[in-house]
Amino acid sequence: MKTKRIVSFRQAARFELRGVAFILFLCALLSLSACSQKEPRPSIPLITSEPPTTARPTEPPDAKLDKMISDMTLEEKVGQMFFARCPDTNAAEAVSQYHIGGYVLFGQDFFNKTKEEVVGNIQSYQQAADIPLLIGVDEEGGDVVRVSDNMYFSDTPFASPKNNYLSGGWDAVQTTETAKAEMLTSIGVNVNLAPVCDVVSDPNAFMYSRSFSDKTDEVSEFVTKVVSIASEHHLGSVLKHFPGYGNNVDTHTGIAVDERELGDLQTNDLPPFQKGIDAGADCVMVSHNIVNCWDSKTPASLSPTVHQYLRKDMKFDGVIITDDLVMEAITQYTGSDTSAVAAAKCGNDMLCCSDLETQYPAVLSAVQNGDIPEKQVDESVKRILKWKQKLGLISEKTSDRL
């Protein structure tokens, strides 16, 4: 009995001590809680009503482009409208002098040059530009091969699309157009002035060898494939020569008149252009033919009626560009000093010319004296910058260079 009493006492004491310890533990917890309420831990950030700066949505593309345009001088905006032929000398200097939108390279820019030399030249042009340049070539295949004609770039020049298809079908078209895109983008070219959308049936016609087919559906499918392949490689496409050469004569050597009815154009010639637009092409080149059903007095490239049809009826909201303004069909019509002004006034966004030093001051002066509204220039520049943005040429830091 005595032993049991002793054990009971010890147990009671042990229980009492445990109870005291538990009470002290609770007091300690309450004390810590009170301290934490008075002074929050510095390692835990306070929650505010403003989200972190990095979490804010990025500026919409249109707003960024509008800001870029508002920060540009008039000289810079006018320069963006020129897709000029690359000069033989001082090409980099001309980029910064005229603020041009892009250079078109011809055979002479590749002749007897290694790939490294061409890449170096193109990089020097880009380094001179505040806004990255469109660098374009005519690499159609067949009669028009600016790059693949050089042995340093290709063992054999690309065949014409027509012959390529006849020898290997659509698989050959797919393979060749992919090879073109890879070759061009590898050297810094970001625009191929192709595909040719003209539907030509007369073997003696100027555009016959360059056209894909005399069947509208086949040309439409070809154009769709070319534009899609180029887009996959971030290579710009130019649909040419709107509204379609047909069987007309060469505008390089003189004025050409197209007598076809509008219904004929809508059935035979316009569908390939529409398919190209629907496939995502960002640029349409307008020919120098006088198209009587629209405007019997003015070459298509200088006709507001033709441009309005392209905008309103075909719903094209991309860049409209002229064929080269030194071609005889234009110089015989306007003279050599005013062609770019006439082309800008009627609605062309970009002006393709080989005499930049003459045409740039003329257009700049026309805007300064109000002959060409500056608002129209702004609209053209925005389309051009959108194209460059789509090609990945305009980054978040581009506007900081202006």
> Catalytic residue among 252, 264, 278, 295, which?
252
pTM over 0.75: yes
Kindly list the domain boundaries of the chain, sorted by start residue.
1-42, 61-401
> Catalytic residue among 138, 269, 323, 355, which?
323
Identify the weakest region by mean pLDDT among 52-66, 249-263, 291-305, 368-382: 52-66
What is the C-alpha to C-alpha distance for residues 162 and 183, in angstroms, rounded to an integer?
20
Q: What is the strand order of the sheet 283-286 is part of?
A: 319-322, 283-286, 236-242, 191-192, 134-137, 102-105, 82-85, 351-353
What sections of 40-112 are H helices per DSSP? 61-71, 74-80, 91-98
Instruction: Determine contact, residues 188/147, Cβ cutoff 8 Å.
Output: no
SS3 321: strand
E runs forming strands in 182-309: 191-192, 236-242, 257-258, 283-286, 290-291
The per-residue pLDDT for range 187-226, each reduced to its tens digit, is 999 999 999 999 999 999 989 999 999 999 999 999 999 9
**Confidence bin at 396 (pLDDT 50/70/90):** low
Q: Which residues contact 15 (CB under 8 A, 6 or more apart)?
A: none
Give Cα separations from 306 to 7, 144, 198, 347, 399 (angstroms). 112, 27, 16, 9, 34
The answer, yes or no, to whether residue 140 has pLDDT greater than 90, is: yes
Question: Hey, what are 383's tokens?
Answer: 């389309």
Cβ of 351: how many Cβ atoms within 10 Å? 26
Under the phi-then-psi rule, with left for phi > 0, alpha for psi from -120 to 50, and beta for the rest, what region is 327?
beta
- CA angle, 210 then 215 then 217, to 5°: 110
The per-residue pLDDT for range 40-86, each reduced to its tens digit, is 333 322 222 333 333 344 556 788 899 999 999 999 999 999 999 99
Would residue 371 show up in a list of annotated catalytic residues for this protein?
A: no
**Confidence bin at 329 (pLDDT 50/70/90):** confident
Give Cα separations from 147 to 108, 208, 230 (angstroms). 10, 22, 16
CATH 3.20.20.300 fits 61-401, yes or no: yes
**Confidence bin at 252 (pLDDT 50/70/90):** confident
What local confidence, expressed as pLDDT, does residue 398 receive? 56
| Top-confidence residue, 133 or 253 | 133
| 241: preceding bond cis by omega (within 30 degrees) | yes
Would residue 252 show up in a list of annotated catalytic residues for this protein?
A: yes
